[in-house]
Amino acid sequence: MQIQFLNERPAPDLQVQPEVQLDHWRILRRGTGTLHIVAMLGPMTLRVTSALAAIDLASAMVKTGSGRNYHLAASPEEDEDLRMLMELRGQLAIGTISADVSDVVWDAVSVGSWPAHGGELLPPWQ
């Protein structure tokens, strides 16, 4: 099977779209250690964010290095086909993916704290 991603373009200007609600998302760790969200924003529209900078576990809000805020409004995407597309799109945009940390992040959001044994994946929102 061959998949081709078309119509690649940057996200809207930050002033036009300072916050995005996400219902279909995954968080991937790049080979260099940075975390990035890959999300479906609409029919056939996938976005890969800049590196994540901080998280507010209480509100499920994530801030990227570019300053855009993403609200994790639902649990991580579970559909196998969509997850495959998200991972492929992530690889195309950020290169080697070392891990999918979506469930770890969502568990921390759900309980309001990072697991004692794993530590923080993202610093708290300041």
Number of domains in the chain: 1
Q: Within a domain: residue 11? A: no
Residue 9 structure tokens: 């373009």
Q: How confident is residue 15, by pLDDT bands cut at 50, 70 and 90? A: confident
This prediction has a pTM of 0.90
3-state secondary structure the chain: CCCCCCCCCCCCCCCCCCEEEECCEEEEEECCCCEEEEEEEECCEEEECCCEEEEECCCCEEEECCCCEEEECCCCCCCHHHHHHHHHHHHHHHCCEEEECHHHHHHHHHHCCCCCCCCCCCCECC
Q: Within a domain: residue 51? A: yes
- pLDDT tens-digit map of 21-54: 999 999 999 999 999 999 998 887 899 999 999 9
Q: Within a domain: residue 67? A: yes
Mean pLDDT for all residues in the chain = 90
3-state SS class at 16: coil
Range of the domain at 43: 19-111
Q: Within a domain: residue 71? A: yes
- Read off the amino acid at residue 42: G
Q: Within a domain: residue 118? A: no
The residue with tokens 């639902």 is 74
Contact 125, 54 (CB under 8 A): yes
Q: Within a domain: residue 14? A: no
Point out the least confidently predicted range of 5-9, 12-16, 78-82, 106-110: 5-9
What pLDDT does residue 65 have? 94
- pLDDT tens-digit map of 81-120: 999 999 999 999 999 999 999 999 999 999 999 988 777 8
- pLDDT tens-digit map of 60-80: 999 999 999 999 999 999 999
Question: Across the chain, how many H-helices and E-strands are there?
Answer: 2, 8
Q: How confident is residue 7, by pLDDT bands cut at 50, 70 and 90? A: low
Q: Within a domain: residue 8? A: no
